[in-house]
Each structure stands twice: as structure tokens, then as C-alpha cells.
Amino acid sequence: MPDFATIAIAGAGAMGSGIAQVCAQSGRDVLLFDLSAPARERGREAISDNLDRQISKGRISRSTAETILSRIRLAATPEALAPAGLVIEAIIEKPEPKQALFRALEAICGPETVFATNTSSIGVGEIASALAVPVRLAGLHFFNPAQVMKLVEVVGHAATPPALTERLAAFARDIGKTPVICADSPGFIVNRCARPFYGEALAILEEGVFDAPAIDAAMRARGYRMGPFALIDLVGADINLAATETVWAALGRNPRYLPFPALRAQVARGDLGAKTGRGFVTPAVEAAPAPEAVADRIEAALVNEAAHMCDEGLADAAGIDTAMKLGLNFPRGPFEILAAVGPAEVRARLAAAAATAPDALKPRYAPAAALDTPA
């Protein structure tokens, strides 16, 4: 019998239903809970539709799909989650509802039940602090769509036993995911390390020499599937701004995470990207790539952030590389870039950017201690 033979998913939205599907595909029984009956039904329909698409592509048979669906039971109350060995929460991204849910589940589930939050932006320790036994909760951050994306960030807070994060990492592997263990820090790995990828592109844009299509073209020429502005448009400028502001505030308004005026202006205009039909590079236009020095600078900022994260003990170099490649489809991880060009070259690129930056932004380019190793 697999570990966590019965899984409960709290929240039947896109993320919750995707996680439920993944768990059911691994042979586990799944309890899909939502207080809203329509939400529960929509969640089950979404799973059914996803399985139908797999059938149409010849990936699974109709009988396999029916077996997967049969493992998923809808739950209308928290009390129905009592049999679960693991409860994964995927509800609204606010601390109070998450804390209230886990407090209720403490009184319902047995002492051996493990709790996991799928939060992408709230401190796992903050959520756990509301529990009588905070050591039973950790983070399992899936990426959307959960039934497709391979990465899972396994997040332990200060009180989490290492054995629990290892157990949750093993569970993630068993359901077909690639886990990366990281410490509890704003943005975890991907959402924090991605900030300079977007931010340095915005800094270059505001200098007025190159426009967004040219900057994106330079990054595509470097091997990235999408440039930073296309990614902002895809996710939504408003979502990107909110994530940037969260990390910026949580990390002491460090200029490395500055929400640039160009991004704020885009949101103020309502030009949010794909969902509004207008954005930085929406509608798409053909553009010649900016010089390679632009891509060099953006990658240097990305490498520097990853090095700062490593200095802080957030995750190891291999984990950061894996997370960025799987979470954002980057062609190479920051430390793979560092290995290719050497720390001296990265420091030189940072110094060149600092030399022309406004005084308020110069600290943005201070190299991490991990870059002090001579080339």
C-alpha cells in the first residue's frame, strides 16, 4: 500500500482538482472537498474533461479514466476528511481561511494525519502557527496546471521535522512529480528567483533604448521559450505586480525586487496582457533581438539572485536549477549559467549595470557572496 493511501484535497478549484487528479492517477483514494456544491461538481467535471483529452490523444484508455474517476469522492464537509492520511489545502490565498481550515481539521483528523498547504505566497510557518501542533504541517506547492507541471516545492518551516519534508518529497515522487526541498521564505524558489528575470527586463525597458519586443526577442535568441514580457502578459501584469510587491515587502523593500513604474503603469491602464488583449507584447509584433548584452545582463541578475538564495540556505544549487527549469521552462538553471560563464564574468556584468544605474538602484547589483569565488 502506498504512503498516504487516502488523500484529501481541500478546495475544488483549478489547482485543487488538478492535484486530486494527479493523486487519483497514482492509485490513491481521493476526497475532494469544497463547501460549495457547484464548485465540487465543477472540479469533478474538470477532471473528467482532462481525462477525456488524454483519451483523445491516446495516452490512456476509457477504462483507465473511469478507474481514476472512481477513486475520487466529493466531500461536502470537513468532517468527511477524517479518514485521510494527508490533507492538501488549495483554498483562497489568504492566511486566515487557511488557518481556520487547519484548526478545524485538527479536531477532526487523527494525530497521524499530515497537513500540507499549497500556498504560493504566504509563509508556511505563519499558517502553521495557528495550529496546536504546528510540526504536522508543511508546504506542498504545486504549479498550475498541476496535472501537467512536474515541479513541486516541498517547504519546511522552522518547526518542520526534516523527516516530514523527506516523506512529502517521497510522496511527490510517487505521484510522478519532481520535488525540490526549500526553506520557508517569501516566494520560495521559483517566485523569488523569477523576480529579477522580469525586473531587470523592466529596468532595461525604462532606460528607453530597447522596447519590450526587442528584449523578449533577445531572450528567445538565448534559448528561452518566452521572454520576460511575454511571461508577464501570459500570467497577467496585475498578478505579476502583486507577486513582486509581496516579495518586495517581505524582503525589506530590497531594490532587487522593486516593482518598476512601467509595470505599475501597465496595471493602471488595464493593459494586463492576454486576458485583456493588450500588454507589453500583446498583440505580438515581430522585432529584431536587442544585443546579446541585454540577455547577458538579465541572466546576470538571475544568477545573482540564485546565488543570494543559496547564501541564505533557501535551497541548494541543484534544487534551484531544477526548480527554474521545471517551474518556468528555462533552458538552463542559474548555476548552469554560472558554470558556463564563470563568477568573474557575472560580477563584471553586474558592475556594468550598476555603473549606469540611478543611485537608488545601485544596491540591486551588489554581488552575492557565492560569486566571490575567483574564476
Residue range 89-135, pLDDT digits in tens: 999 999 999 999 999 999 999 999 999 999 998 999 999 999 999 99
pLDDT score of 108 = 97
Q: What are phi and psi of 45, to 5 degrees?
A: -65, -40
Helix (H) or strand (E) run with residue 88 in it: strand 86-89
Which residues have a catalytic role annotated? 120, 141, 153, 191
What pLDDT shows up at residue 1? 72
The whole domain housing 67 covers 6-183
**Using 50, 70 and 90 to split pLDDT, how confident is the model at 373?**
low
pLDDT band per the 50, 70, 90 thresholds, residue 375: very low
Specify the amino acid at residue 97: P
Q: Where does a domain end: 115, 150, 183?
A: 183
Q: How does the average pLDDT of the chain come out, rounded?
A: 96
Say yes or no: 176 and 196 in one domain: no
Helices 228-235 and 195-206: crossing angle, nearest 10°?
A: 110
In the predicted model, what is the mean pLDDT of residues 345-368?
A: 96
204, 263: one domain: yes
pLDDT in tens, 51-104: 999 999 999 999 999 999 999 999 999 999 999 999 999 999 999 999 999 999
Question: For residue 167, what is the enclosing H or E element?
Answer: helix 162-174
Maximum C-alpha span of the chain: 64
Burial per residue of 94-114, b for 16 or more beta-carbon CB atoms within 10 angstroms, e otherwise: ebeebbebbeebbeebeeebb
Q: Who wins on pLDDT, 318 or 373? A: 318
Give per-residue pLDDT as tens, 159-210: 999 999 999 999 999 999 999 999 999 999 999 999 999 999 999 999 999 9
Write out the three cell numbers for 163: 523527516
* Boundary of a domain, candidates 122, 150, 183: 183
pLDDT of residue 2 exceeding 90: no
Residue range 219-241: average pLDDT?
A: 96
Flag whether 1 is in a domain.
Answer: no
CA-nearest of 305, 202, 325, 180 to 247 is 305
152 lies in the same domain as 271: no
Cβ proximity of 116 and 89 under 8 Å: yes
pLDDT of 26 reads 97
Which residue type does 135 have?
A: V
Strand 151-156 to 137-142 pairing: antiparallel
Boundary residue ending a domain (136, 154, 183): 183
Q: What is the pTM of this model?
A: 0.93
Structural domains in the chain (count): 2
